[in-house]
Amino acid sequence: MKNTILIFTLSLVLHACIDDTGNYTYIDVNDLAPITVSDIGASYTMEMMDTMRLYPTLHAVTGEADEVDEADYDYLWYVYSPTRRDTIGREKNLSYVVALAPALNYRIVFQVTNKKTGVYKYYYTTLRVTTALAEGWYVTKDIDGVTDIDIISPDGSAARDVLRSINGEGVPGEGIICADTRQITVSIPLEDGRDTLYKDHNCLYIMTRSTIQLYDVETMLLMHGVEGLFMKVPDRIAPQSLTSTTVGKIIVNDDKVYTMNTSVENIGMWGAVVPGPRIDPVNMCRSALGPLLVFDTDTRSFKQLNPTKNAYSAIQPGGNPGANNMGHDMVYMQEKGEITQGGVAIMKDPATGDHYGLKINGYAAGLMPGGYWELPPAPASTLFNPIATRVLIPSGSNVIDARLRGTHRNMDVIYFTKGDNEVWYYNIANTNEEKILTVPAGETITYVNTQVRYISGVSSYNLGVLTEKDGNWNLYIHDFRPSSPLVEETPVATYSGEGIPRHVHYRSLTGTTSF
């Protein structure tokens, strides 16, 4: 019975609507907004960071374009992305730097509003975004105390001052490093008070002497400054180094170490200061398994730092040489291009002034899973001695007073420069050193290191040499000679740009974090 009554009532309503002959005045929308718009295509395809320019023409519905007074209308452009709507223009003509994630389709909407009546019309087009920023050489440079990046695509095309172009400004301070990273979660507050959560997102850290900022690596939009990167913001912001392992991110700020565990779901922020000794803030050695080899400057001992535990672990006593209470100062330490191959280091005996070259064990040297220098089934706090060999460096060797140093792909070799336009190498095993490259006169080398590229799942290695002259940078890419520390003298690629260069790395579409 209830069903019958409901149906009957509904039929009365429908009948009333159909038979209603009330006195209504209907106005055609073209009378309220008597215009139409042309010169907006149905779809566009553009690269990220290109400028999208549209010049729509307003026409009277029954007349020509010159019959419309454009001053009678307000204009609004906005873009619909998968998660939000953003205003991108308030003039009739659109000029918009495409700061949108690539490989997606977006709707660009043009709204025209009659100022007198408030009536508006919509016109839209589809935008497909591609990118030349996802892969290539990322050059960190600064101009007048502001850091930015230039990106050189595999085809040689360049995007200049990317951060300023998209965000309106770069990063304050002298640049230290640009590092793209994966596996972090980022929460971005929206205007309505809610948050947008990006899980396992690809991001870009830019670190300078005075701050650190996080960018979306797909759009290069600023995501967070310092206040959004620490659970408790340090009293003093003085970044020193930033590195990453397969299980976490490590930052040293004001001689204090912070870790972020990315082996589990995370909030993308560094937590409490790692308790324990004071470590060398710059010289570290990454591993293939996750932990980081660091040097305790208080006891002059090696220690392992595991981001999953936010704690240091002691190295097993013994060995020749031992890794504890060495009485030596750390001069330089870094992993090789292939981090499974371990790393190299230079140490100084302050009592004698002697310097030593160290070969650091890597996982590929035969250590078992469970910890980089751990010897299972030993307790987690007891770790294997990481030092494979220690060789006296002959007095007067140029590598001792080198201004900059870098490592080879897999050999126990240190590349270095004395602060001029020459690149040398030093072989730890046989103590031989040799000049291998000379860049053009007047250029000063500011960075030299092995560069790793991942192309179709295959690793490729080159020596990257970054130089500066008169406030401009040059990047030279050299091929390694097979089974040799030497490189081909003629670079396979050369790039240039404006600014004082500080760091370079190649960002691949696939592969591991690039630092």
The Cα 477–Cα 473 span in angstroms is 13
pLDDT at 129: 82
Please give the C-alpha separations between residue 265 and each of 187, 211, 307, 394, in angstroms, as whole numbers: 13, 26, 13, 49
**H or E stretch covering 3:** helix 2-19
The Cα 229–Cα 212 span in angstroms is 9
Number of Cβ atoms within 10 Å of the Cβ of 253 = 22
DSSP string, 292-331: EEEEETTTTEEEEEETTTTEEEEBPS-TTTTSSS---EEE
Taking CA 76 as the corner, what is the angle to CA 72 and CA 81, rounded to the nearest 5 degrees?
165
Annotate 391-436 with three-state secondary structure: EEECCCCHHHHCCEEEECCCCCEEEEECCCCEEEEEECCCCCEEEE
Amino acid at residue number 482: P
Q: Residue ranges per domain, the chain? A: 29-130, 134-273, 276-393, 408-515
Contact 109, 121 (CB under 8 A): no
The Cα 178–Cα 4 span in angstroms is 72
* CA atoms in the 13 A half-sphere facing the CB of 403: 12
Backbone angles phi, psi at 336, to 5 degrees: -80, 175
Number of Cβ atoms within 10 Å of the Cβ of 454 = 17
Percent share of the chain, pLDDT over 70: 83
Superfamily of domain 29-130: Immunoglobulins (2.60.40.10)
DSSP code for 90: -
Rounded to two decimals, the pTM is: 0.76
Q: Is the peptide bond before 482 cis (omega within 30 degrees of 0)?
A: no
Per-residue pLDDT 10s for the chain (515 aa) are: 333 333 333 333 333 333 445 555 555 555 555 678 888 999 998 887 789 999 999 888 765 555 788 999 999 999 987 667 889 999 999 999 887 766 578 999 999 999 988 888 889 899 988 766 678 999 999 999 999 999 998 888 899 999 998 899 999 999 999 988 877 788 877 666 677 777 777 889 999 999 999 998 877 889 999 999 999 999 999 999 999 887 889 999 999 999 998 888 888 899 999 999 999 999 999 876 677 899 999 999 999 898 888 999 888 777 778 889 999 999 999 999 887 788 999 999 999 999 999 999 875 333 433 334 444 444 444 456 788 899 999 999 999 999 999 999 999 999 999 999 999 999 999 999 999 999 999 999 999 999 988 766 677 899 999 999 999 999 999 999 999 999 999 999 999 999 999 999 998 866 544 55
Number of Cβ atoms within 10 Å of the Cβ of 97 = 16
pLDDT at 320: 73
The set of residues, in sequence order, having a beta carbon less than 8 Å from that of 214 and lying 6+ positions away, is 186, 203, 204, 205, 206, 222, 223, 224, 225, 228, 229
pLDDT at 488: 96
Handedness of CA 220, 225, 231, 237 (dihedral sign): positive
pLDDT at 61: 73
DSSP string, 8-28: HHHHHHHHHHHH---------
* CA atoms in the 13 A half-sphere facing the CB of 416: 23
pLDDT digits (tens, 9 = 90+) for 54-83: 999 988 876 555 578 899 999 999 998 766
The Cα 424–Cα 391 span in angstroms is 19
Question: Burial, 308: exposed, middle or buried (Cβ in 10 Å; 0-12, 13-18, 19+)?
Answer: middle
The Cα 224–Cα 221 span in angstroms is 9
**H or E stretch covering 164:** helix 162-167
The token pair that represents 388 in the structure block: 């494979």
